């Protein structure tokens, strides 16, 4: 009997959730991240007017609070998934467009392509070590 590939299933579920959030952010929030709300007016128990200024703390109206301009951070995150996923796809396609011709020319024995690939391999192998040394 075959075993289930649990990390693959979890990854697919996460990817599907991200795609749903990316395609339908209005299902999860009714606010626009571009609306400014600098003041909120409310009344206390005695009936006197209370005026609050942005940034607002997390509440029923602002789930994750707001920024200094009064924009809802939760809706900002939800609507930001579109840009993030699009940017990730463009970066992946751009690196693919550079790497494939470089690899093909290196495969045919072009020495400059081999040199470039070796140097990029060294640079990208050193990045984790540099990050750990900063930490």
Give the span between the Cα atoms of 32 and 66, in whole angstroms: 12
Contact yes or no for 13/21 (Cβ under 8 A):
no
Query: In 3-state terms, what secondary structure has residue 39?
Result: strand
Apex 94 CA angle, 90 and 97, nearest 5: 140
Q: Rounded mean pLDDT of 34-40? A: 83
Give the span between the Cα atoms of 24 and 81, in whole angstroms: 10
Nearest partner of 56 among 66, 41, 64, judged by Cα = 66
Query: Which residues make Cβ contacts (< 8 Å) with residue 49, sequence separation at least 6?
Result: 41, 42, 43
Tokens 């020495």 belong to residue: 111
Contact yes or no for 25/79 (Cβ under 8 A):
yes
- For residues 116, 118, 123, 126, the Cα torsion angle rounded to the nearest 10 degrees is 180
What does the pLDDT look like over 38-69, one tens digit per residue? 888 888 888 888 888 888 889 888 889 888 88
Q: Rounded mean pLDDT of 9-27? A: 93
Q: Which residues pair with 43 in a beta bridge?
A: 49
What does the pLDDT look like over 65-86, one tens digit per residue? 888 888 889 999 999 999 999 9
């Amino acid at each position: 009997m075959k075993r289930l590939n649990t990390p693959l299933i979890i990854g697919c579920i996460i990817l599907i959730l991200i795609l749903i959030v990316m395609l339908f952010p209005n299902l999860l929030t009714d606010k626009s991240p571009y609306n400014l709300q600098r003041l909120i007016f409310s009344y206390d128990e005695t009936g006197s007017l209370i005026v609050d200024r942005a940034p607002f703390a997390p509440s029923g109206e602002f789930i994750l609070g707001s920024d200094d301009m009064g924009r809802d951070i939760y809706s900002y995150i939800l609507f930001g998934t579109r840009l993030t996923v699009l940017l990730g796809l463009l970066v992946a396609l751009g690196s693919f467009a550079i790497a494939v011709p470089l690899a093909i020319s290196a495969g045919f024995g072009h020495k400059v392509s081999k040199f470039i690939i070796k140097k990029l391999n060294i640079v990208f192998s050193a990045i984790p070590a540099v990050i750990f040394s900063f930490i």
